[in-house]
Chains A and B, each alone.
Chain A
């Protein structure tokens, strides 16, 4: 049995952390969540010289402050799980800024090995880095790598394994933050040591430093552990804060940050880094940006790209989606053929096969959507989209990145809210993300289109195209205004700072795209699959029970017998008459079921909007999946549930029915658009919202 060591992988977003993680662990990774939050936790195993290294991918952060969920998660992992070594991936082309996170790792004192990534890009930019010197100055191993090509990864892992094998005490780096800060840190550290204040969890110097930075997590922990000492220390911090405000117009927190950068500069200036060109010279990526974010051409190209993504996703997925649907139809027909009529058969066909089929038919769509989205994100274009659109979306309390979720959900009519909701993952700010998540389902997704098309075609045939455009705009306006309303009420709060890195354009790696896509898709199948199955069985129950009373069934059978007696065998006339009875039975069954009672009960309220019980049942069914509305409506009007063939006649029935006017149909259109997302979406929303 070989020894197993826990290793954490830390680094800035865009430093190539995921690429490195994939290069180290390959397909042997496990994706889960950190307890209690929706932040993804990836783990993988690497074996080297008889040692097992369990690699945990920490969320990408710029710092280890306690502001964002990602930072808290990363920090708690380091402090509570105490990994043997942290592999700190650092972008060589952005060394100075990337070392800010490293400095905070040094402050914690965990053994660190630096993986200096993108050495090729740095070289191209005329940046030369003396790895040995950097390693000497920081007293830790530095390994140059190119994660995309796998260069240097073996060496990195060899040295990591070596480091992990040594039992080392955690020793915080002694960084100077200026005379004032150093002095108070020392006094605080001594008091903390003397009272054993939180020393079981953190090093005294780190506790002192975090208290000085007014860290919220430490405040809570401190009050719980020893309120008296905490207040004494907090008093000291307050005093020095007043002093720095008076003399330097700044806070200790800011001073510490400035000194961290000072420390980095002092190291880099000792001959670690040399620039062949002017540091702010424009690279290819910046030249591309001159066009792609240009005032007039930029937005035009963006519209083209977004439309292209939309076409790619929905165009390419149509065929495989049809295959999946066909496959489940075939299965349903097979079951129909093989089993005797009865409740079990009905449950299998209408409950289980229809439910699972419904979930799985989304899989091709979700795969392609994530592939497209991953491409835009990994290439760096998504950051530009956010940059260009932020000003508009900010008016409604959203973020530039919200546009993706809206468009995929059906901002261009015909999308789907399920991948749309999942696309909000690219939003890093929690409040904006929540507002986007909750309003994206207002868009006209593909499943709403049949009922909209039916009603528009029936009652507003003259203005079809214009009407559809109007409904699309209506969806956007409603979603944006609701988002604004949410941000003014339950999701109140300052907008999250937009400070964002614009990563240089890169061509995404094929392996990265595939891993990313598969992960997300598998997640969807697992989570949605189980819940949806339960719900579709529930919907089946309320639409089939209680069964028709015996006397009604007898009456129907009698009618059937009469038809058989009065017509000749095999004639089409008999066939038609019989299926007429079948449809009547379906209608009566539905009317008699729980859903039927609900529908009729709701009539007392729904007449205000002009909906009769038949519409109500269809809408109840529509909560499960919007596709069901048209077919349920057809059943309720005794049209049979083969929608395709009867669509025309359903339209005719509606025009003839006394209760149906253009006004009623308009009210139904609006209701269908905004009443409730389908169950799959609801499941995804609650999963994403955590």
Chain B
């Protein structure tokens, strides 16, 4: 098990969110979509220019930009 930032995850890789390190509007927006510690996510794909990223959370698909994904720490299996 090791901790990485969401940006570094590969397509189809899964992991468990351990921390969301941002406050303010961005932090709230991230959390209200269900990206909170303990949630399992899977990277579903990336846009043609590699940014934004699409991920599966709780059975739905969300998109966010790489610089927003940088605030999210994930624990992944090695």
Interface residues of A (CB under 8 A from B): 62-63, 65, 67, 93-94, 96-97, 100, 125, 127, 249-251, 253-254, 257-258, 261, 279-280, 286, 289-290, 293, 295-296, 298-299, 383, 387-388, 390-392, 394, 497-502, 504
Contacts and interface: CB of A to CB of B under 8 A. Distances in A.
A388 B23 CA distance: 27
Contacts of B60: 93-94, 97, 501-502
A258 B32 CA distance: 9
In the A-B complex, the 4 residue pairs with the smallest Cβ-Cβ separation, listed nearest first, are: A257-B31, A391-B49, A502-B61, A63-B32
Interface in B1-59: 14, 19-21, 23, 25-34, 36-40, 42, 44-45, 47-52, 54, 56-59
A502 B63 contact: yes
B47 A289 contact: no
A353 B18 CA distance: 66
A96 B37 CA distance: 15
Contacts of B38: 258, 261
Contacts of B32: 62-63, 65, 100, 257
A97 B33 contact: yes
Contacts of B54: 289, 293, 387, 502
A279 B23 contact: no
Nearest to A281: B59
A494 B40 CA distance: 29
A293 B39 CA distance: 25
B64 A497 contact: yes
Contacts of A258: 31, 36-38
Contacts of A394: 65
Contact of A279 (B19, B28, B49, B58): B58
Given A62-B32, A253-B27, A93 B49 contact: no
B68 interface: yes
Interface of B: 14, 19-21, 23, 25-34, 36-40, 42, 44-45, 47-52, 54, 56-65, 68
12 contacts: A63-B32, A93-B59, A96-B59, A97-B34, A250-B21, A258-B38, A299-B48, A497-B30, A497-B65, A498-B52, A499-B63, A501-B61
Nearest to B27: A254
B68 A390 contact: no
A280 B57 CA distance: 8
Contacts of A254: 20, 23, 27, 31
Contacts of A499: 29-30, 33, 62-64, 68
Contacts of B61: 286, 289, 501-502, 504
A592 B72 CA distance: 70
Nearest to A94: B60
Given A298-B48, A391-B52, A67 B28 contact: yes
A390 B65 contact: yes
A388 B62 contact: no
B25 A497 contact: yes
Nearest to B21: A249
A90 to B, nearest CB: 13
Contact of A498 (B25, B27, B64): B64
Nearest to B41: A280
A498 B63 contact: yes
Counting chain A CB atoms within 10 Å of each CB, the highest count among B30, B38, B45 belongs to B45
Contacts of B50: 391
Nearest to A100: B32
Given A97-B58, A499-B63, A261 B36 contact: yes
A94 B59 contact: yes
A437 to B, nearest CB: 22
B29 A257 contact: no
A127 B60 CA distance: 13
A296 B49 CA distance: 10
A299 B49 CA distance: 10
A500 B59 contact: no
A296 B20 CA distance: 33
Contact of B58 (A94, A250, A286, A293): A94
Contact of A387 (B23, B28, B63): B63
A468 to B, nearest CB: 28
Given A63-B28, A97-B57, A261-B34, A498 B47 contact: no
A63 B33 CA distance: 9
Given A497-B29, A501-B60, A249 B19 contact: yes
Given A65-B28, A280-B59, 17 more contacts: A96-B59, A100-B34, A125-B59, A249-B19, A253-B27, A254-B20, A257-B32, A258-B31, A258-B37, A280-B56, A286-B44, A392-B49, A497-B29, A498-B65, A499-B29, A500-B63, A502-B63
A258 B62 CA distance: 18
Given A257-B28, A279-B58, A280-B59, A501 B33 contact: yes
B59 A497 contact: no
Contact of B26 (A94, A251, A497, A502): A497
A387 B33 CA distance: 17
Contacts of B33: 62, 97, 499, 501
A290 B54 CA distance: 11
B31 A289 contact: no
B34 to A, nearest CB: 4
B51 to A, nearest CB: 5
A93 B28 CA distance: 23
A254 B35 CA distance: 11
Given A63-B32, A249-B21, A279 B27 contact: no
A251 B68 contact: no
Contacts of B29: 62, 67, 497, 499
B71 to A, nearest CB: 10
A32 B51 CA distance: 38
B62 A501 contact: yes
A240 B56 CA distance: 34
A439 to B, nearest CB: 22
B36 A387 contact: no
Nearest to A96: B58
Nearest to B64: A499
B6 to A, nearest CB: 12
Contacts of B42: 280
Contacts of B44: 286, 289
Nearest to A65: B28
B77 to A, nearest CB: 15
A293 B25 contact: no
Nearest to B35: A499
Contacts of B48: 293, 295-296, 298-299, 388, 391
Contacts of A63: 28, 32
Nearest to B60: A94
A298 to B, nearest CB: 6
A501 B55 CA distance: 10
